[in-house]
Structure 1
Amino acid sequence: MARADQLKTFLRKNPQIRTIRAAAADLNAQPRGKRVPTRFADKVIEDGTRFPMSVLNLDIWGEDIDDSPLLFESGDRDGILFPTERGFLPMPWLEAPTALLPIWMFHEDGHPFEGDPRHALRAVLDRYRAKSLTPVVACELEFFLIDDSGRNLEVPVSPRSGKRRKAAETMSIRTLDQFDIFFTDLYDACEEMDIPADTAISEAGLGQFEINLMHGDDALRAADDAWFFKMLVKGMARRHGFAASFMAKPYEDYPGSGLHTHFSILDREGRNIFDDGGSKGTDALRSAVAGCLDAMYDSTLIFAPHLNSYDRLVPDAHAPTGISWAYENRTSAIRVPSGNPKARRIEHRVAGGDVNPYLLLATILGAALDGIERGAEAPPPITGNAYAQGLRQIPSDWMSAIDAFEASEIIPRILPADLCRNLLLTKRQEVFYMNELSPQEQVTIYLDTV
């Protein structure tokens, strides 16, 4: 009830808010839910809201999944969705004052719906808590600003110069300044939404940028922040007259966008279990690395969930293709950064910007814990160029990744069986229909969704 009172207090203190959006993330991280007038918000706050369980298992077009057991076999029954602990957040990209109410799905008897990706991450974190361990997580999100008003995608015209610069601008201050109004508004919006946006840089792609989200000891909140941030960036860009997209590879001749995850793990006393006081890290670090490497091939579908995802995972394009780890080496799939030993951490570099953040963190943290629990031993770290070392490769196409996920013996130790079944049905349906589209039609659907 205390939580409900806080939500109601928020609305009383913000009488300008006219409607709310009660939304949950589906398996493709698409927000699914309802628009509710503020005067009826109390019912959602107190009693939750209902919609079919199958809604969290739609394909990228928002269509039902053929033969899903959530549909006719079960009568397409409802789940009940309650507010998460994140409460109301403003939606600064909309013209009318509006608040977002994040929700997640439960069964009628109160137990979590396993097809909800947020619950999948919660279940992994419950395993950490049972061992008195706490992951500390940070995400780096890359995205493109795009003019999609014509037939071909282009870099937007700079609001400052009125020019369109068609070149890579790696870490260019000038490029950041060209879109200063957009980034100023974006950072102001992050403050309003309590998203911990830190450093911004320009990247190597056309109109490509990266913003880091600050690390924190609540991985569920980190996934929320990444999900909110993606919604915010896309919405704010449209408000400024262009598009923003986290699709993995909108331009054939330039690098794609990743979502790199950094994590360490604290024990019950708050000590980093990866810190050995030196540069190499502890046995626990190497076991976590081993767990991530062991699961990497089978879990590629999580890191690269769409057809376009595999255009990014090609050699010599700043995205990893071989299963490896290294110290301070960005060609490897897993990098252990240098720096203060107290901050010793693992950087997982495989995922594209088009992922579901909840499934991403559930899979990475679940694989790391699996390695720690087994006392797994990592192979020797590589040195030099990973692309030139004949490493075992990450699946290079969508169907191979789907088949690997389905056949895996590791994935069932990390993700719930119902979610895995739903995801496989979703991706096989998307393969079928995506293959009927032209490349331009494929880009059109991914540009605005992922």
Structure 2
Amino acid sequence: MRNWLRKNPQVRTIRVAASDLNGQARGKRVPARFADKVLDGGTRFPLSVLNLDIWGEDIDDSPLVFEAGDADGLLWPTDRGFVPMPWLEAPSALLPLWMFRETGEPYEGDPRHALNTVVKRYKARGLTPVVAMELEFFLIDDSTRNLQVPASPRSGKRRKAGEILSIRLIDQFDRFFTDLYDACEAMDIPADTVISEAGLGQFEMNLMHCDDALRAADDAWLFKMLVKGLARRHGFAASFMAKPYPDYAGSGMHTHFSVLDEQGRNVFDNGGPEGTPMLHNAIAGCLNGMNDSTLLFAPHMNSYDRLVPDAHAPTGIAWAYENRTVAIRVPSGSPAARRVEHRVAGGDVNPYLTLAAILGAALVGIEDGATPPAPVKGNAYALDLPQVPADWPTAVAAFENSTVMPRIFHDELIRNLVQTKKQEIHYMDELTPNERVEIYLDTV
């Protein structure tokens, strides 16, 4: 890590930051010449900093605050090391952190540790998840109270329509996407294909598959930060908000995963299209945990505007082969690439918690030898299926009272997240729709 700074003497300031439960980067700005202090001794934040609400406020009556004297945790760099921050004017670097207790034990309320715990359980069985994420986002002109598509930098015109797979639309924002790819390369984020999507000014970028789930979540977390920051340098906003426009599709974060054994073989591949019994166990686990984990896939009030029928977001708890109307899709293609696509999460999620919930539920299904129902065919919206929670309070209650979530997450994280969301529900109810959009547009 020190070598990186020596090779980049132009970097004069660094940010040291960790993800809170909402996926917000919480941390400090440090002159680069004092970076050794962080590398050698870590840095300290209150434990409560990873448990703030979406406004960045303490959680009322949290045992982490006054009851515990707002005690510190100790944060150490992750193995990611320094990454440049190309969206800032001055050359700067970000050092991702995660939180530990004074004893050296991981802090159970840290979302990155939650994912690491799930990955360790796979490793104990000789298994390695391989993960890829597809992240959808909107480019938005938010200079007035009415959100709209940014004017094309090339023509000055605004195309007020969704344009699926439009090369012309991508080329209209060529300078932004060229800078985005360059920035991803500088940050070692494996950015692959970009397409235009069904919403106004909506795009999707795929991140390449990775056999390190922690790194995949890091990539998604950093990518969201990058896209939002870089868009501002180009004179508009970028947002992963689930549903900024009521009449158009919202943004998702689809997660693909397979699992390798110790010999590097895909345990979901049986040489044919149907997949192995372990694939079906994993699917059953994801379906069985879906109701209770919807809060992690739809963590905000606006998230539930996306989860409505016939809007390119799944609402029925079901699976199928090569069918995008279901929650769990098994894509076609080479048997060696047999995998699960989990389609429920919105773009507004915390990638660490989302990936922990998906992989954790799949592992529970594998551990239990669970069997899924038969795959559905046709339009899942038209079928009589169990549904994901349709509103925020219902999802919070399902997560809080679940018997499955404690098999994936530590009690402290469950408690902290429930308290956070109950506080946000209380204060969101006091805001106007425009005020809600304003807070979500820049944060999620």
> TM class, shorter-chain normalised?
over 0.9
- Structure 2 counterpart of 1:21: 15
1:22-421 equivalences under 5 Å are 22-421=16-415
Aligned residue for 2:209, secondary structure, equals: strand
Specify the code of the residue in structure 2 equivalent to 1:167.
Answer: A
Looking at structure 2, the residues matched to 185 and 163 of structure 1 have their Cα atoms a distance apart, in angstroms, of 21
Aligned residue for 1:73, secondary structure, equals: coil
Specify the code of the residue in structure 2 equivalent to 1:106.
Answer: F
Is the counterpart of residue 439 in structure 1 residue 433 in structure 2?
A: yes
Aligned residue for 2:93, secondary structure, equals: strand
Aligned residue for 2:175, secondary structure, equals: helix
Looking at structure 2, the residues matched to 354 and 193 of structure 1 have their Cα atoms a distance apart, in angstroms, of 21
Q: Which runs of 5+ in 2 are unaligned?
A: none
Specify the code of the residue in structure 2 equivalent to 1:355.
Answer: V
Looking at structure 2, the residues matched to 9 and 279 of structure 1 have their Cα atoms a distance apart, in angstroms, of 48
Looking at structure 2, the residues matched to 236 and 224 of structure 1 have their Cα atoms a distance apart, in angstroms, of 18
Q: CA deviation at 1:39?
A: 1.1
Specify the code of the residue in structure 1 equivalent to 2:140.
Answer: I
Looking at structure 2, the residues matched to 80 and 23 of structure 1 have their Cα atoms a distance apart, in angstroms, of 12
Looking at structure 1, the residues matched to 171 and 11 of structure 2 have their Cα atoms a distance apart, in angstroms, of 33
Looking at structure 1, the residues matched to 180 and 152 of structure 2 have their Cα atoms a distance apart, in angstroms, of 16
Looking at structure 2, the residues matched to 338 and 97 of structure 1 have their Cα atoms a distance apart, in angstroms, of 44
Looking at structure 2, the residues matched to 158 and 114 of structure 1 have their Cα atoms a distance apart, in angstroms, of 46
Specify the code of the residue in structure 1 equivalent to 2:35.
Answer: A
Specify the code of the residue in structure 2 equivalent to 1:68.
Answer: S
- Structure 2 counterpart of 1:3: none
Aligned residue for 1:189, secondary structure, equals: helix
Aligned residue for 1:257, secondary structure, equals: coil
Aligned length: 444
Looking at structure 2, the residues matched to 162 and 389 of structure 1 have their Cα atoms a distance apart, in angstroms, of 44
Looking at structure 2, the residues matched to 160 and 114 of structure 1 have their Cα atoms a distance apart, in angstroms, of 49
Q: CA deviation at 1:231?
A: 0.2
Aligned residue for 2:193, secondary structure, equals: strand
Q: CA deviation at 1:151?
A: 1.3
Aligned residue for 1:148, secondary structure, equals: coil
Q: CA deviation at 1:9?
A: 1.2
Specify the code of the residue in structure 2 equivalent to 1:82.
Answer: W
Aligned residue for 1:310, secondary structure, equals: helix
Q: CA deviation at 1:352?
A: 0.1
Q: CA deviation at 1:392?
A: 0.5
Looking at structure 2, the residues matched to 12 and 174 of structure 1 have their Cα atoms a distance apart, in angstroms, of 42
Specify the code of the residue in structure 2 equivalent to 1:276.
Answer: N
Q: CA RMSD in A?
A: 0.4
Identity of aligned residues (%): 75
Specify the code of the residue in structure 2 equivalent to 1:203.
Answer: E
Specify the code of the residue in structure 2 equivalent to 1:53.
Answer: L
Q: CA deviation at 1:8?
A: 1.2
Specify the code of the residue in structure 2 equivalent to 1:114.
Answer: E
Aligned residue among 4, 24, 27 for 1:10: 4
Looking at structure 2, the residues matched to 212 and 10 of structure 1 have their Cα atoms a distance apart, in angstroms, of 27
Aligned residue for 2:292, secondary structure, equals: coil
